[in-house]
Chain A
Amino acid sequence: MNNSVEIKNLDLEFGAVKVLQNLNLEIGKGEFLVLLGSSGCGKSTLLNCIAGLLDVTAGQIHIKGNNVTWAEPSERGIGMVFQSYALYPQMTVEGNLSFGLKNAKLPKDEIAARIKRAAEILQIEPLLKRKPAALSGGQRQRVAIGRALVRDVDVFLFDEPLSNLDAKLRADLRVEIKRLHQNLQNTMIYVTHDQIEAMTLADRIAIMRGGKIMQLGSPDEIYGRPINKYVAGFIGSPSMNFLEGHLTGDTFEVGDVSIPMAGYDFANGGAANGAATLGIRPEHVVTGELVGNAPFQADVTVDLIEPMGSDTVVDCQFAGARFRLRMDGQARVTVGDTIRLGLDPSRASLFDKDTELRL
C-alpha cells in the first residue's frame, strides 16, 4: 500500500451536467501532484470530492488505504487551503488555528504545542493575537496553510492558494510551499491554472480538460513529450508554434518548405504518413552562431519584437504561418531585419491532423 490517495472510476454530476467522468488517479505517498487546467475544467470539483465537501455520483475515494467515499471531511485525514483564504473573520489567528483542534477535542497543551510548531514553521508567531482583517494577503495565506498544518494530516489539498496574491508574493510563497513539502514530505494535491506554479512545484502534473485527465506525467514529460496538441499548446509561454503540413516518411512538408525529421522519436516506433501538425517551441528555435549546427535552416523577416529583459520574443512569418522564436535578451534585432533560424527535429513534436495525438 504505497499510494496515499486513490481515486477509482469517479463520476460527479451537478444535476444533468457531468463535471467529472470515470476519473482514475493514484497519488503516491509524499508526492506533490498538481492538477492543471483552464478555468471550469473541474479541478476544484475533483479536489472537493477528495475533501468530502461534495458527494460523488459514482466511484470511490481511498486515502491511506481506507475507503473514505462516505466519510466526513474532518475524518479523512486531509487539510485544505482555499483561494480566498477562508479565515474565520471574528477569530484571532490563534483561534483560527485552534478551531479544528478544539472540535476534535484535543487536550489544551497538545493544541498549544501544535500551534507553536506551525507558527514557527510559517513564521507567523508575531501575528497570533491578530484578527485576519489586520493581516496582509500573504500573511493570511500563511495562516490558512497553518490551519492545515496543525491538523497534522497526511494529505494537503490546495485550491489555487496563490491566485489572489500579487506577482512577487506569489513567487515567494511558491518557493515556501515547495520548501514546506521538502521538509514535511506530506502528500500534496495542488490545483492551479498557472503553468509556472505547476512546472516548478510538481513531482507529477495532471493536465485536466472537460473533467478528464488528458496527460499525467512529470513536468519534463509534459513539457518535452506532450501527448496531444492541446497539452502542447497549453504548456509553455510563449506557446508552441504549430505548422500545418504533410508528413511523408522522414520529411515534413509545409507549403514550399520541407523539413527533414530524421532524429525525431516517433511515439509508435516507425514513421507515419499523412496530414500532420508540427509543433516547435519558441525557445527551441536557434539563432546566431548556433544555427550552423542545426539540421534545418531558413531565413525570416522580423515582424514584431517583445523585449522581456532576460530574453526577447520575435514574431515572424515562416512557411506561411505566424511563427515566434525566443532570442537572448542581449541580441540586437529590429523590425524588418532578416535573421537566420535553425530547427532541431529531435526537440519538436508531431501530431496527427485529425486525432491531434502525438506521432
Chain B
Amino acid sequence: MVDVTPDALAGPQGPKPRKTFSRRNIFLYGTLIMVALYYALPLYVMIITSMKGMPEIRLGNVFSPPVEITFAPWVKAWSEACTGLTCEGLSTGFWNSVRITIPSVIASIAIASVNGYALANWKFKGADAFFTILIFGAFIPYQVMLYPIVIMLREMGLYGSLSGLVIVHTIFGMPILTLLFRNYFTSLPEELFKAARVDGAGFWGIYFRIMLPMSVPIFTVAVILQVTGIWNDFLFGVVYTRPESYPMTVALNNIVNSTQGVKEYNVNMAATIITGLVPLTIYFVSGKLFVRGIAAGAVKG
C-alpha cells in the first residue's frame, strides 16, 4: 500500500501563484522607473556639475561624474557669489528667508487653526457668510491684489520691511489653512466637544486641552505647506521688500541672472541646491507624518 492520505486536496489550493514578469508588472514598473528617472536625472546633473571645476564643465560631458571633486562652488555660492550690486553670496538671503518664514508660519497657523476650530465647533452668527468669503478669497488671483497691498503697507509704514512681508504671507495663507483646519476639526467626533462643554471647559480650554493634542497630524501638514510655500515664494518677496532684505529665492535669481563675467554653472547649480535644501529636508523629516495627516482628514470634504 502506498501511503496516501485519503482526503488529500486536489486542484487549486492556497494562495494563487503570481508571475513576477507578467505583462502587467512590466508595464507598471516600467512606467514607474521611467517617471522616476525623468525626475531624478536633472537632480543628478545638478549635483555632479556643482562639484566640477569650470574647465571640466567646458568639456561638455554633462552626464559624466566629476574627475576632480571640488566644493569651492558651494562655498562661493554661499558667501561670495555676486548679485549685481554686492558679493555676499546666498547667506544674507538665507537668513532673510528664515526671518520671514518662521514668524509667517507660526502666525498663519496659529490664527487659521483657531479660525477653523471656531467655524467647526462654535456655530456663531454669520459663520457661514464668513466661511464663504474666506473660501472666495482663495480664488482671487494674487496679481489683482499686488498693488493695493503695496498701498496698504505704505500707509501702515511697513512697506519694504520684513514684518510687512510676514503680514502678507499670513493673510494669503489664511483661506486654504482655515479650510484645512475646519475640515479636520469637523471630522473629530462632535460628542467629544459636547463632553468638554459639560465638563465646563470654555472656548480656549477646549481648544488647548482637547483639540490641540488630537491635531498633531494636521498641524504637521500645515507646517509643511507653509514652510515650502513661503520659502519658495518669489513674487511677494521681490515686490514687498528692499534689496537688503530680499529672501533667498530672489537672491538666487539675482546670482544666476547676473550678467557680469562668465556664467559659472557650478556655482549656479550649488546655489540652487542650497536654496532647495530647506523644503527638501522638511519633506524627508516629516514625510511619514505628512501622509498620515493627509489620510487623517485633510482631504476629507
- A residues contacting B by CB (< 8 A) are 48, 51-53, 72-74, 78-80, 82-84, 86-90, 99-100, 103-104, 147, 151
* Interface membership of B191, Cβ < 8 A: yes
Nearest A-chain residue to B213, judged by Cβ: A90
Q: Which residues of B contact A48 (CB under 8 A)?
A: 194
Q: Is B196 an interface residue (CB 8 A)?
A: yes
CB distance from B101 to the nearest CB of A (A): 29
Task: Report yes or no: B191 in contact with A84, Cβ–Cβ below 8 A.
Answer: yes
- Given known A-B contacts A74-B200, A100-B200, A103-B200, A147 and B195 have beta carbons under 8 A apart: yes
Q: Please give me the 3 A-B residue pairs with the lowest Cβ-Cβ distance, nearest first.
A: A74-B200, A100-B199, A103-B200
Is the Cβ of B194 less than 8 Å from the Cβ of A99? no
B199 near A74: Cβ-Cβ < 8 Å? yes
Task: From known contacts A90-B214, A103-B205, infer whether A147 and B199 are also in contact, taking CB-CB under 8 Å.
Answer: yes
Q: Which residues of A contact B197 (CB under 8 A)?
A: 52-53, 72-74
Residue in chain B with minimal CB distance to A148: B198
Report chain B residues within 8 Å CB of A78.
198
Contact residues of B between 205 and 233, Cβ < 8 Å to A: 205, 209-210, 213-214
Q: A86-B189, A90-B213, A90-B214 are in contact. Are A53 and B200 (CB under 8 A)?
A: no
Report whether A99 and B214 are in contact in the complex, using a CB–CB cutoff of 8 Å. no
Given contacts A74-B197, A84-B189, A90-B213, 13 further A-B contacts (CB under 8 A): A51-B194, A51-B198, A53-B194, A53-B197, A73-B198, A74-B199, A80-B195, A80-B198, A88-B196, A88-B209, A100-B199, A103-B201, A104-B200
CB-defined contacts of B189 to chain A, threshold 8 Å: 84, 86
Interface residues of B in 174-209 (CB under 8 A from A): 189, 191-192, 194-201, 205, 209
What B residues does A104 contact at CB under 8 A? 200
Assess whether A86 is in contact with B200, with CB atoms less than 8 Å apart: no
Chain B neighbourhood of A90, CB < 8 A: 213-214
Residue in B191, B199, B201, B210 whose CB lies within 8 Å of A83 = B191
| Residue of B whose beta carbon sits closest to that of A82 | B191
Q: Given A89-B214, A90-B213, A103-B205, check contact A74 B198 (CB 8 Å).
A: yes
With A48-B194, A84-B189 as known contacts, state yes or no: A103 contacts B214, CB within 8 Å.
no
The answer to whether B198 and A100 have CB atoms under 8 Å apart is yes
Selected contact of A86 from candidates B194, B209, B213, CB within 8 Å = B194
Shortest A95–chain B CB gap in Å is: 10
| B interface residues (Cβ-Cβ under 8 A, vs A) | 189, 191-192, 194-201, 205, 209-210, 213-214
* A-side contacts of B195, CB under 8 Å: 80, 82, 86-88, 147
Contact assessment for A79 and B192 in the assembled complex, using a CB-CB cutoff below 8 Å: no
Expressed in whole angstroms, the Cα–Cα distance for A79 and B195 within the complex equals: 9
A-B contact pairs, 12 of them (CB 8 A): A51-B194, A74-B198, A80-B198, A82-B195, A83-B191, A88-B196, A90-B213, A99-B196, A103-B199, A103-B200, A147-B199, A151-B199
- In the assembled complex, how far is the CB of residue A83 from the closest CB belonging to chain B, in whole angstroms? 7
Task: Compute how far the CA of A100 lies from the CA of B197 in the bound complex, rounded to whole angstroms.
Answer: 9
Residue of B at shortest CB range from A48?
B194
Residues of chain B lying within 8 A (CB to CB) of residue A86: 189, 191-192, 194-195
In the complex, chain B residues whose CB is within 8 Å of the CB of A79:
198
Chain A contacts for B192, CB-based, 8 A: 86, 88
Cross-chain contact A80 with B200 (CB below 8 angstroms): no
Of residues B192, B198, B210, which shows the largest number of chain A Cβ atoms within 10 Å of its Cβ? B198
**Which residue of chain B is the closest to A80 with respect to CB atoms?**
B198
Taking the nearest CB of chain A, how far is it from the CB of B129, in angstroms? 15
- CB-defined contacts of A88 to chain B, threshold 8 Å: 192, 195-196, 209-210
A209 to B108 CA separation, bound complex (whole angstroms): 48
Report Cα–Cα, A74/B214, bound state, in Å.
Answer: 23
The CA of A257 and the CA of B201, in the complex, are separated in Å by 66
B92 to chain A, nearest CB (A): 43
**Partner of A80 from B194, B201, B209, B214 at Cβ < 8 Å:** B194
Q: For the complex, what is the distance from the CA of A78 to the CA of B199, rounded to whole Å? A: 10
Contacts of A52 in B (CB 8 A): 197
Residues from chain A with Cβ under 8 Å of B201 in the complex: 99, 103
> Within 8 Å CB of A80, what residues of B?
194-195, 198
Identify the closest chain A residue to B189 (Cβ).
A84
Q: Could you tell me the distance between the alpha carbons of A53 and B191 in the complex, rounded to whole angstroms?
A: 10
Per the bound structure, the CA–CA distance linking A305 and B199 in Å amounts to 51
CB-based contact B198/A99 at 8 Å:
no
Residues of A within 8 A of B210 (CB): 88
Interface centre among B195, B197, B209, B213, by most A CB within 10 Å? B195
Most buried by A among B192, B197, B199, B213: B199
A83 partner residues in chain B, CB cutoff 8 A = 191
Report the minimal beta-carbon distance from A181 to chain B, rounded to whole angstroms. 19
